[in-house]
């Protein structure tokens, strides 16, 4: 092939430079025809032919025009080829068979995976390009049409939830569904291989229900049953000396003096019932028992006993689904036993227990109590002593509790939490009114700046007002079957909750006055007297009607002797005249 002359001037665009040729006839193409021209493009062939014509030759101009047309055609060909390639790729994807997704159950052999897909197990080959060490049990695996593992999709994020029933020695898990389905054996995923599991935990399974993927929190986490028990010494429980001592005798003595109980072969009670009007401190007694008992056990034994107070409100257990309420009762006792093994002293405090442990009735439509009460009885029978857990029931309608629950051997102690007396009310007021509260400067001046004396004056005035037997202090009229009418006064309907409400209302009044007044101010006797009247006038915790059954929950009368109970509106009296 002829070489280009470096000294040759530039040619017009599209036409290659002319090769120096001697004047004379054009050279022949025969030497080139012997060479292979298949590797040259059309443009290269045109450029090759142009070299054989001298500059200014009309053939050279014609070849330049031909070259431009060939170049345009090649550009069009390139664009068409690219469009065809894209279309071919799209057709290939659209016509390719779908890849399958399975769950990896194990790697029994090198380059072999045990896969479950659609309920069927397969021994599948693994693509050599995949790292077998990175394939984890429980992950989703991508399979091609030949059922070859070609990809790893990671763990799936959904799946059914089951509860662990038992742990097998080989690491498998026995799980059961909440709906009462039969138990199933599953294997652990790679994430749970070294996880410390225990019965009762809820786990998420894969879609095939063959692999346990992760531990999940319950749909309604039962940790809400746990309340952190505050520091509550017995001195903070006012107005309940008899009930407080009865609770201490029933719960503290068997645990603090276990050796004496064994020596006398005396059986300790399994549980106690606190019953009485609402707002009188039943829940407070339960919390105080948990705090003081564990503290005394630490002091006596040197073992770090910790309380685990499970405050359960009876209606929380009720559920419309068959077997769900019974399951929650089983779970409640199972958690208590579990915490006892961990070193806690569990307290199960069930408030409003008559709602779930009520008297069973005959008939097919008697309700959930026909199964819930026997379940609770069975769990109580499994408790050997207070060393395992402390069971405390609370109710203001003890007459509605099933006798099977209250029989000896289950709930052995029935302790009445009565309304506080006048002296007991003074104790409760002293708990809520402490010397650090802002007091009325005028009152302090009258008491010689003695804050304790000023507080004593406030408590004396408010208690005298509350327990006065005057006509304007009447609160409830009781009509007995004999025809006699009796009146209950405010002091006879007092409770710790009412006293707390009176104190809070008085504080609210003093705060409003301090906001609007530039002068120093504080709690006064009048604040408490006004708060007392407002608290009873609004009847926040009393029935708003005269239905006898509702009022009988609040008074100590025998229901058989009462015909009617109705509230009495007290006359309006100027509080300043009493102060």
At residue 17, φ and ψ (nearest 5 deg) are -65, 145
**Contact by Cβ (8 Å): 509, 496:** no
- How many residues does this entry show for the chain? 579
The pLDDT of residue 261 is 84
Angle (CA) 49-54-56 rounded to 5° is 115
Q: In the prediction, which pLDDT does 309 show?
A: 81
Query: 86 CB contacts (<8 Å, ≥6 apart)?
Result: none
Choosing among 3.40.50.300, 3.40.50.880, 2.40.50.140, 3.30.450.20, the CATH entry for 100-154 is 2.40.50.140
> Are 213 and 206 contacting, i.e. CB atoms less than 8 angstroms apart?
yes
Do 476 and 568 form a contact (C-beta atoms < 8 A)? Answer: yes
User: 525 and 458 in contact (C-beta within 8 Å)?
Assistant: yes
Give phi and psi for 345, each to the nearest 5: -110, 100
At residue 395's C-alpha, the angle toward residues 392 and 396, to 5°, is 150
Q: What's the pLDDT at 7?
A: 38
Predicted pLDDT at 564: 78
Give the separation between CA 227 and CA 290, rounded to whole angstroms: 11
Q: What angle do CA 368, 374, 377 make, to 5 degrees?
A: 135
Q: How far apart are CA 359 and CA 373, in angstroms?
A: 9
The terminus-to-terminus CA distance of the chain in angstroms comes to 131
Residue matched to tokens 């092939």:
1
Residue 239: its pLDDT value, please? 84
Contact 221, 187 (CB under 8 A): no
Q: Edge-to-edge, what's the strand order for the sheet holding 140-143?
A: 120-125, 112-117, 100-109, 140-143, 149-154
Separation of alpha carbons 565 and 551, rounded Å:
7
- Which pLDDT score is estimated for 161? 87
Domain 161-219 and domain 224-416, same fold? Reply is: no
Per domain, the residue ranges of the chain are 1-96, 100-154, 161-219, 224-416, 432-578
- Could you tell me which CATH number the domain at 224-416 has? 3.40.50.300
Q: What per-residue confidence (pLDDT) applies to 52?
A: 80
Q: Helices 496-516 and 525-538 meet at what angle, rounded to 10? A: 120
What backbone torsions phi and psi does residue 214 show, to the nearest 5 degrees?
-160, 160
Mean pLDDT in each 10-residue stretch from start to end of the chain (579 residues)? Answer: 40 43 47 61 81 82 86 89 90 80 91 90 91 89 90 88 87 76 84 84 88 77 56 85 88 83 83 87 86 80 73 79 78 83 83 85 60 85 72 86 87 88 91 89 88 91 88 79 81 86 92 87 90 77 58 66 71 48
φ/ψ of 457, rounded to 5, equals -65, -45
| Domain 161-219: homologous superfamily in CATH | Nucleic acid-binding proteins (2.40.50.140)
Question: How far, CA to CA in Å, does 422 sit from each of 347, 350, 460?
Answer: 32, 29, 10
Taking residue 73's Cβ as centre, other Cβ atoms within 10 Å add up to 12
User: How far is the C-alpha of 328 from the C-alpha of 323, rounded, in Å?
Assistant: 9
User: What is the C-alpha separation between 391 and 333, in angstroms, rounded?
Assistant: 10
Q: In a 10 Å sphere around its CB, with 0-12 CB exposed, 13-18 middle and 19+ buried, how is residue 544 labelled?
A: exposed
- Angle at which helices 422-432 and 451-466 pack, to 10 degrees? 140
At 6 the pLDDT is 38
Predicted confidence at residue 18, as pLDDT, reads 42
Strand 184-188 and strand 211-216: the pairing is parallel
The model's pTM is 0.65
Q: What is the DSSP string of 342-410?
A: TTEEEEEEEETGGGTSBPP-SSTTS-THHHHHHHHHHHHHT--STTT-EEEEEES-GGGB-HHHHSTTT
**Is residue 226 a contact partner of residue 310, using CB atoms and an 8 Å limit?**
yes
């Amino acid at each position: 092939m002829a070489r280009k002359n470096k000294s040759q001037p530039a040619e017009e665009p599209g036409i290659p430079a002319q090769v120096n040729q001697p004047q004379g006839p054009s050279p022949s193409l025969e030497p080139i025809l012997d060479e292979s021209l298949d590797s040259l493009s059309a443009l290269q062939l045109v450029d090759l032919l142009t070299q054989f014509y001298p500059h200014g030759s009309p053939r050279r101009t014609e070849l330049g025009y031909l070259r431009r047309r060939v170049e345009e055609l090649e550009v069009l060909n390139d664009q068409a080829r690219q469009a065809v390639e894209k279309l071919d790729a799209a057709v290939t994807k659209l016509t390719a068979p779908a890849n399958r997704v399975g769950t990896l159950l194990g790697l029994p052999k090198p380059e072999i995976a045990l896969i479950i897909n659609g309920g069927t197990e397969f021994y599948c080959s693994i693509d050599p390009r995949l790292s077998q060490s990175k394939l984890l049990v429980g992950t989703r695996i991508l399979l091609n049409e030949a059922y070859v593992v070609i990809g790893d999709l990671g763990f799936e994020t959904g799946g059914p939830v089951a509860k662990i029933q038992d742990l097998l020695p080989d690491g498998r898990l026995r799980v059961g569904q909440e709906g009462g389905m039969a138990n199933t054996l599953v294997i652990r995923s790679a994430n749970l291989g070294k996880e410390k599991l225990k019965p009762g935990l809820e786990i998420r399974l894969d879609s095939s229900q063959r692999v346990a993927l992760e531990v999940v929190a319950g749909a309604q986490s039962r940790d809400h049953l746990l309340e952190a028990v505050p520091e509550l010494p017995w001195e903070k429980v006012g107005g309940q000396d008899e009930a407080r001592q009865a609770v201490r005798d029933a719960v503290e003595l068997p645990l603090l003096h276990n050796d004496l109980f064994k020596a006398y072969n005396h059986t300790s009670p399994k549980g106690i019932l606190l019953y009485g009007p609402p707002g009188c401190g039943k829940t407070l007694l339960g919390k105080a028992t948990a705090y003081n008992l564990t503290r005394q056990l630490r002091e006596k034994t040197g073992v770090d006993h910790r309380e685990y107070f499970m405050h359960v409100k009876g209606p929380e257990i009720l559920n419309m689904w068959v077997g769900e309420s019974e399951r929650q009762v089983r779970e409640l006792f199972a958690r208590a036993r579990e915490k006892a093994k961990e070193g806690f002293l569990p307290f199960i405090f069930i408030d409003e227990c008559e709602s779930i442990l009520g008297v069973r009735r005959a008939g097919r439509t008697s309700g959930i109590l026909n199964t819930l009460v026997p379940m609770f009885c069975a769990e109580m029978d499994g408790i050997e002593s207070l060393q395992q857990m402390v069971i405390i029931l609370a109710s203001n309608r003890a007459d509605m509790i099933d006798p099977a629950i209250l029989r000896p051997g289950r709930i052995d102690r029935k302790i009445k939490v009565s309304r506080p007396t006048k002296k007991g009310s003074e104790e409760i007021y002293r708990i809520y009114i402490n010397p650090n509260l802002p007091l009325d400067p005028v009152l302090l001046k009258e008491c010689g700046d003695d804050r304790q004396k000023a507080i004593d004056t406030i408590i004396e005035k408010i208690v005298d007002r509350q327990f006065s037997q005057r006509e304007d202090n009447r609160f409830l009229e009781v009509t007995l079957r004999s025809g006699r009418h009796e009146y209950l006064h405010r002091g006879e309907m007092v409770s710790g909750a009412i006293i707390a409400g009176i104190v809070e209302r008085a504080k609210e009044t003093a705060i409003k006055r301090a906001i609007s007044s530039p002068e120093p101010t504080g709690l006064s006797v009048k604040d408490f007297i006004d708060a007392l009247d407002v608290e009873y006038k609004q009847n926040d915790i009393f029935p708003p009607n005269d239905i006898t059954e509702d009022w009988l929950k609040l008074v100590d009368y025998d229901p058989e002797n009462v015909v009617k109970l109705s509230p009495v509106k007290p006359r309006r009296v100027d509080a300043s005249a009493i102060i």
